[in-house]
Amino acid sequence: MGLLLVAVPVLLVLWLIVWPIVVAVFTTFQVDTPKGPAWSLESYSFFFTDGFSLGNLWVTIWTTAVTTVIVIAVALPIALYLRFSNGKLAAYIQSIALFPLFVPSILLAFALIRTIGPNGMLDTLLNAAHLPKIRSPYLTPWGPVIGLTWDNLPLTLLIVLSGLANVSTASVEAARDVGAGSLSILWHIILPRIANSLLVAASFIVLGLFSAFTLPYLLGPAAPEMMGPFMQRTFIDVNNPTEATTQAMITFLFCAVFAVFYVRSVASSQRRRG
Amino acid sequence: MAKLELRQLSKQFSTTLAVDDVSLTVDDGELVCLLGPSGSGKSTVLRMIGGFELPTAGAVLIDGQDVTRVPPEKRPTGMVFQSHALWSHMTVFGNIAFGLRLRRLPADEIRQRVEAVLELVGLGGYGKRQPNQLSGGQQQRVALARSLVLEPKILLLDEPFASLDQHLRERLREEVRDIQQRVGITTLFVTHGQDEALALADRIVVMRDGKVEQVDRPEVVYREPRTPFVAGFIGQMNLVDGDIRNGRIEAAGMSVATPLADGRAILAVRPEFLELGSATAADAPVAHRVIDYGTHLMVDITVKDNAERLKAMAPANSGWKAGDRLTLRPREVAVYREGVVAHRAVVTPESSPAPVESAHV
Amino acid sequence: MTDTSLTATAAPRLSRRIDWPGIGFAAFLSLVILVPLLVVAIWAFTEVWRYPSILPQKFGLRFWGATLGRNDVWSALSTSVLLATTVTALSTAICLPAAFAFARLNFPGRNIFFLSFLTVHAFPKFGLYVTIATIFLGLGLVGTFWGVVLIQLVSTLMFMVWIPVAAFQGVDRRLEEAARDVGASPARVFFYITLPQALPAIIAAVLLTFVGTFYETEGAWLIGAPTVRTMPLVMITFINSEVVVQYGAVLSVVLWVPSFILMLFARRFLGPQALGRGLGA
């Protein structure tokens, strides 16, 4: 009976996720020869020898790394503050920090362009304060970094907060009682306990960023571009689905470690909850 | 070894006054119990001593030094929490050694001291275990060891046995008392169980609604409760509303000479001091239920016009049964007026109602 | 038992420490998060705003009529609404029974199938879309309404299964047992006890799905363009080729309405802990 109820969604997953990947493996690892399809790494070797493609891959890795570090560096202090404070100020901070969850990417892109873009609000304010103009990050690799940080902050904050909820206040007070200052407590008591949450947050960000499209497309330069816009251009404008699929497979590969970690972590927390 | 002084300590939370003007002195090596129902403020007082709450008024002094604003990591206090609060990612050894490592002591000395304190709490050799491999009682002992190893001046225990079962609780509190006396450390112990307080304390501080009701040695608190609340909280007590007329208090059919002005008052008599005799009158108090505890009988008594039943303790072989008509002969009583004890009396078994001895308070 | 020697003077009141970190965080976040949105809001109500003045020279509602009068805006709006409704309805119909089965019934392969929904999020999404697009090319689904429906449906699956599962599991069994005890049949128990108890979280999930689909950009462009044009795609055109800023600003404000409604509801139905847990923290 249960099988019947779950049949449709499961089949959907099989048809639209598992099957396309299988097909992708076949189309990208094969090449058409006069004798019929044959196994070959030609698609991949093209990618890895093409300077243009490699440049895009590189900027994706760079953007992902920088954004992940910045997001966690911002989210962690806020999460720690929220965990150990209460009151109206803390409630306000939590509401604001979670607000980006309710701002869709395109609207965010538009807002950021109008703020940090050329002649945007930032330029206006700097001008009014008679400060020198700074080069707008719009249409540089830093543009997507700013947008993606903004976008990923709430989810990361939620994940870290969820991990921090498992650190009991009594264990922190016990540490203070035996003489630990705030830094010692952070390093010896809190971080070991939330290490898993931090890794889950990082995995989430990496998986999201490696395939981000809207924000890099609208805020980043035309070249080098991140893998998301690159794949879209290859598929539609260049009209080369095989090459696009190869690019997709390569993103899968680079995220594989994080994907495995993410799946295992969620699976084990599900098992723990029964 | 240290003297602790609390001066007019108060703590106001946004909606409640949790602690109201509490003052107390604790001597060197004394074990004082803070006893009271939940919400009485006893845990808040303890946390203010430990530095985890900032008082809204008043001062905390240790050995004469004002530590009111000193943060917990710099105070010479050690706290054992209700939930043991052991760090699950460290071994037992790691938990105890953590404070010593922070003070950058040499590794040899750390090992020596940790092993010594493990022996002290009866867990010698348990260093390599993980906290989740220990039983509840063992975990609390590790928590105790973790505080003791740093040789604090004041030891604070916040209902440490609340989550353990009865037998374990009794055994552990004896051990804690032994350790405390051996080490000679000034200790404050918060509990809501009066048998725990009576068994352990050098002195008991009975608290209610943030205020101190009485501070005395256990036997004094038991025998001479200062207020009706303390009287009812410690042990079993019959508290009966009555009237004083012409130098005698009349309550639930009992009559005792009381040299106080006329008016309302409360008569208090413990079950063990309420003697029973047979009665014939049809409206005399009647035994509602008799429970045989083996060593004694506990008789529930219904008195006409009284909503609450009285309890009397009778010898095991006295043979009382439900339905028996009784006369009540109180032997030791206290009379409370306006929330404070006004008169105590011991009634000798001569023909009542006239008492032979009486004592003012 | 107060110390009588000190009753003459009241004990000194201790001041509260100022919460510098809190103020810092609040200021930083307010600046970074609220300012860009405020800028767009100002633009939406502007008639003339020339650099470098801080505020518009002339406020006005002229562009509201202009934007809402455009044909491409209205057709995209109807497409988006139709799409979101279809996807949400399909997702609900498919996933809710499955969620109930996962939560309450035991059948072979339950765990594996349950975890299989994770795979949707275990791969970089756009890469997944590209592989799906390749298949769709072969099936002729590219550029069709139903092609877009399918691809958007896939990304709703995980939330529409996992959140209701948590909701069903969270229903206190004792409530159901009490109902059975007074004579209710299993079907009655489901409709009168289980479902209402799980309803808040389920409604939140449905809302999330609708709003998420409404704003979905990647799949819609990859599969739908150029025939199926949703609101996000119109927005992108505005950003890329529209010189007049106000069109985009007005559209932003209009587009934000569903998200705003979601925000009001989400606060009521889902606490932050539940969201974090639903994502697998």
Does residue A67 lie within any of the structural domains? yes
Residues of C in contact with A106 (CB under 8 A): 215, 217, 232, 235-236, 239, 255
Q: Are residues C264 and C128 in the same domain?
A: yes
Q: What is the mean pLDDT of chain A?
A: 85
Distances (CA, A) of B97 to A178, A194, B120, B124, B295: 10, 22, 15, 14, 49
Does residue C38 lie within any of the structural domains? yes
Instruction: Tell me which of C43, C60, C77 is where a domain ends.
Output: C60
Q: In 3D, which of B177, B140, B145 has the Cα closest to residue B159?
A: B140
Q: Do C11 and B10 touch (CB under 8 A)?
A: yes
Mean pLDDT over B3-16 rounds to 90
Domain that includes residue A118, residue range: 53-273
Per-residue model confidence as pLDDT tens digits over B66-103? 999 898 888 999 999 988 789 988 999 999 999 999 98
Distances (CA, A) of B259 to B168, B173, B357: 48, 43, 12
pLDDT above 50 (res B357) = no
CA distance C9 to C98: 71
Does residue C5 lie within any of the structural domains? no
Q: Are residues C54 and C77 in the same domain?
A: no
Q: Are residues C157 and C193 in the same domain?
A: yes
Of the segments A25-29, B47-51, B222-226, C164-168, which one has the largest average pLDDT value? B47-51
Does residue C9 lie within any of the structural domains? no
Shortest CA distance from A182: residue in chain B: B73
Kindly indicate the confidence band of residue C15, based on its pLDDT and cuts at 50, 70 and 90: low
Q: Does C276 touch chain A (CB under 8 A)?
A: yes
Does residue C217 lie within any of the structural domains? yes
Q: Are residues C127 and C38 in the same domain?
A: no
Q: What is the mean pLDDT of chain B?
A: 88
Cα angle C182, C188, C190 (rounded to 5 degrees) comes to 110
Cα-Cα-Cα-Cα torsion C134, C136, C140, C144, nearest 10 degrees, comes to -120
pLDDT above 70 (res B215) = yes
Chains that touch C (3 or more CB pairs under 8 A): A, B
Does residue A28 lie within any of the structural domains? no
Interface of A with C in 243-272 (CB under 8 A): 244-245, 247-249, 251-252, 255, 259-260, 262-263, 265-267, 269-270
Q: Does A192 touch chain B (CB under 8 A)?
A: yes
Of the segments B261-270, C160-169, C190-199, which one has the largest average pLDDT value? B261-270
Per the structure, the count of domains in chain C is 2
Kindly indicate the confidence band of residue A1, based on its pLDDT and cuts at 50, 70 and 90: low
pLDDT at C10: 45
pLDDT at C280: 44
pLDDT at A2: 66
Q: Which of A102-106, B22-26, B203-207, B338-342 has the lowest mean pLDDT?
A: B338-342
Does residue A35 lie within any of the structural domains? no
Does residue A33 lie within any of the structural domains? no
Does residue A181 lie within any of the structural domains? yes
Tokens linked to A268: 């084990």
Does residue C218 lie within any of the structural domains? yes
CA distance A193 to B86: 13
Q: Which residue has the higher pLDDT, B166 or B34?
A: B34
Q: Does C37 touch chain A (CB under 8 A)?
A: yes
Mean pLDDT over B128-145 rounds to 91
pLDDT at A273: 57
Per-residue model confidence as pLDDT tens digits over C18-49? 788 888 889 999 888 888 888 888 888 888 88
Q: Are residues C208 and C161 in the same domain?
A: yes
pLDDT at B15: 86
Residue B325 is given by DSSP the state B
Q: Are residues C114 and C35 in the same domain?
A: no
Does residue C14 lie within any of the structural domains? no
Does residue A80 lie within any of the structural domains? yes
pTM of the complete model? 0.79
Q: How far apart are the first and last CA of chain C?
A: 52
Do A63 and A152 contact (CB within 8 A), yes or no? Answer: no
Q: Are residues C140 and C91 in the same domain?
A: yes
| A47 Cβ neighbours under 8 A, 6+ residues apart | A53, A54, A243, A246, A247, A250
Q: Does A230 touch chain C (CB under 8 A)?
A: no
Kindly indicate the confidence band of residue C271, based on its pLDDT and cuts at 50, 70 and 90: low
Domain that includes residue C39, residue range: 19-60
Tokens linked to B275: 């003697």
Per the structure, the count of domains in chain A is 1
DSSP code per residue over B204-234: EEEEETTEEEEEE-HHHHHHS-SSHHHHHHS
Kindly indicate the confidence band of residue B33, based on its pLDDT and cuts at 50, 70 and 90: very high
Kindly indicate the confidence band of residue C3, based on its pLDDT and cuts at 50, 70 and 90: very low
Kindly indicate the confidence band of residue B9, based on its pLDDT and cuts at 50, 70 and 90: very high
Q: What domains appear along chain B, each with residue ranges and CATH number? A: 4-227 (3.40.50.300), 236-358 (2.40.50.140)
Other C-beta atoms lying within 10 Å of the C-beta of residue B154: 24
Does residue A23 lie within any of the structural domains? no
pLDDT at A134: 79
Q: Are residues C190 and C210 in the same domain?
A: yes
The three state secondary structure string of chain A is CHHHHHHHHHHHHHHHHHHHHHHHHHHHCEEEECCEEEECCHHHHHHHHCHHHHHHHHHHHHHHHHHHHHHHHHHHHHHHHHHHCCCHHHHHHHHHHHHHHHCCHHHHHHHHHHHHCCCCHHHHHHHHCCCCCCCCCCCCCHHHHHHHHHHHHHHHHHHHHHHHCCCCHHHHHHHHHCCCCHHHHHHHHHHHHHHHHHHHHHHHHHHHHCCCCHHHHHHCCCCCCCHHHHHHHHHHHCCCHHHHHHHHHHHHHHHHHHHHHHHHHHHHHHHHHC
Q: In 3D, which of B117, B113, B86 has the Cα closest to residue B179?
A: B117
Per-residue model confidence as pLDDT tens digits over C53-71? 778 888 888 888 888 888 8
Q: Do A180 and B102 touch (CB under 8 A)?
A: yes
Residue of A168, A184, A192 lying closest to B83 (CB–CB): A168
Q: Which residue has the higher pLDDT, A272 or C84?
A: C84
pLDDT at C268: 66
ipTM above 0.95 for this complex? no
Beta-sheet strand order (sheet of B254-257): B254-257, B248-251, B238-245, B263-269, B332-337, B340-346, B359-360
pLDDT above 50 (res B14) = yes
Mean pLDDT over B118-141 rounds to 90
Tokens linked to C30: 């307010």
Q: What is the mean pLDDT of chain C?
A: 80
Residue B72 is given by DSSP the state G
Tokens linked to B165: 């079962």
> H or E segment at C221?
none
Kindly tell me the burial class for residue B347, based on how many C-beta atoms sit within 10 Å of its own C-beta (0-12, 13-18, 19 or more): buried
Does residue A128 lie within any of the structural domains? yes
pLDDT at C225: 76
CATH value at residue A107: 1.10.3720.10
Q: Are residues C212 and C229 in the same domain?
A: yes
pLDDT above 60 (res C1) = no
Per-residue model confidence as pLDDT tens digits over A143-175? 899 999 999 999 899 889 988 988 888 889 999
pLDDT above 70 (res A234) = yes
Q: Does A128 touch chain C (CB under 8 A)?
A: yes
pLDDT at A40: 76
Q: Do B59 and C1 touch (CB under 8 A)?
A: no
pLDDT at B188: 95
Per-residue model confidence as pLDDT tens digits over C76-113? 888 999 999 999 999 998 888 888 888 888 777 777 78
pLDDT at B360: 45
Residues of C in contact with B58 (CB under 8 A): 11
Q: In 3D, which of C160, C166, C152 has the Cα closest to residue C117?
A: C160
Q: In 3D, which of B324, B332, B327 has the Cα closest to residue B235?
A: B332
